[in-house]
Structures are given as structure tokens and as C-alpha cells.
Structure 1
Amino acid sequence: MRTIGNLLWLVLAGWWLALLYALAGLIACVLIITIPFGIAAFRIAGYALWPFGRTIVVAPGAGLLSIIGNIIWVLLFGWELFLAHLAAGVLLLITIIGIPFGIASLKMSVLALVPLGTRVVDAHDARVPSYSRQPTPVR
């Protein structure tokens, strides 16, 4: 099911959102000081291209530098990418088939504002608090 969702996402919105992130990454890599922004943009471009089955987690140890970096990111690239996700989300929510993809785009819009201090991981590898883990069934 993830593959079908990813293929539909790719056709409906994923390719051009990933293209915007790749363009932001290329622009950010022009200057040495903004290369971390470029790396974050390329990482999120991959996520925007193929999001289902993966999730975003907050990286442990992300501190003051990631907060300052996210503020600079919002001023340079984040607000444009946020608006692109918002536009894609609204357009996808108009159709019945696009509702889950519109919701996904709106969830990704937050990531467009604060990409530093996060990681893209497989959905199965995401950390789940110990109090909410279900026991593994014995086979």
C-alpha cells in the first residue's frame, strides 16, 4: 500500500516539491556557511519525493545551533517551501482521492519551516515511548 501511495504522491505533488527542495539545496550550497542548509534541503527533498513509510523524528542533541539555523532557514528558504506545501495541500484537499495526500502535505509544511535538528527515518525505526509499546507476539 505504501508503494501505491508513494507513486500517487509522486505524480500529484512529490516531484515538484522535491524539485523545489533540490533547488533550495543547490542555492544553499553556493556559500560555504550555508552548506548545512543545503544538506538539510537535499535530505528533505528525498522525503518529499517518497514520504510514505518514513517519518521525521527530532534528532537527540539538537541544541541552540539548530534553533538559530532554523530561524535563518525560515528567512532564506523556509517560508517559500512552507507556502508551496500549503498550496499543494489545499489543492489536494479539493479532491476526494487527494485528501490523504493533502493532509500529508500539510504535515510536511511544518518540516519546511524547521528542518534542522530532525532526521528522516523508516517508520518502523521511529522511537516509540516505552509506555506505549505493545508486546511482540510470540510465533
Structure 2
Amino acid sequence: MTNDYLEEISRLVHGEGDPCDLGADASHIEMIVRDLEAQPPWRPYCIVADWTWVDLIGVDKDQFSKAVREHGAQPVGLYSDNVIEDQLGRFNPGECVRSTPLVEFRENCMFITRNTIYLMQGPGKRLRMRPFSFVSAQF
């Protein structure tokens, strides 16, 4: 792994990035959770704070983007170093989590992947990095 990749991972885990006006306050997240729990199971939810919206870019952007889109997703990921609650208990409160690519985004705070609905609580950041750096980050 080169220093460029390590630098990108370091920026991610140290909360660097531009302020991002996505996310919702805790009361709105609670309302969404009640709605999700009242419906038949769709995807489990995971509430996260201190999140970073990651635009996946790079030298192979076109090839990577095409491959992701062919699988019904977008070249975007989500990282958080503060899990608030995970419906299935996969992640403990306070742990880090990294998503798979975005499939759908709703209500300014619902980052939906193939397997999980991440509920983005509070303010966050936006960062651009190469896909290899994002998927190589181990927590």
C-alpha cells in the first residue's frame, strides 16, 4: 500500500473532509426508526453519528463506477466512527463502521445499501477518495 493510500485512509479516520449538510437530528431519526419497525422487515438499520459521506473517485473511476452501477449501486460509501445503535447488534455502540456502495438515498439521512439502512444522525463530512483506499481501511 503506498503512502497516498495511507494518507487517504488517515484523512478518513481522523474526520477530515468538507462540512456536509446531510443528516438529521435525533428526533427525526427516532421517527424514522419507529416507521421502519412498524413495517415488515426490509433491511436492518444502523444509526451512525460522526459520519463521512465518501465519494469514490480515482484513476479507474470510469471502470469502477461502471462496475458498481451494473450492480445497481453508486460509487459512494459511508464511514462512521460512532455507531449509535445497530438493529441486529452487528456493531457495538461507539464502534466504527464502513458501508458497501450506496443503492438509494432518502430523507436527507437514509443511506441505503444492498443490506443495511444507515441513518445519518447529526452533521457530517464529505470526502473524496479512491475505492481501494476506502475498502482497504480496516477498523
- The structure with the largest helix share of the pair is 1
- Asked which structure has the greater CA Rg, the reply is 1
TM range (shorter): under 0.3
Q: As a proportion of its length, which structure holds more strand? A: 2
What TM-score does the superposition give when structure 1 sets the normalisation length? 0.28
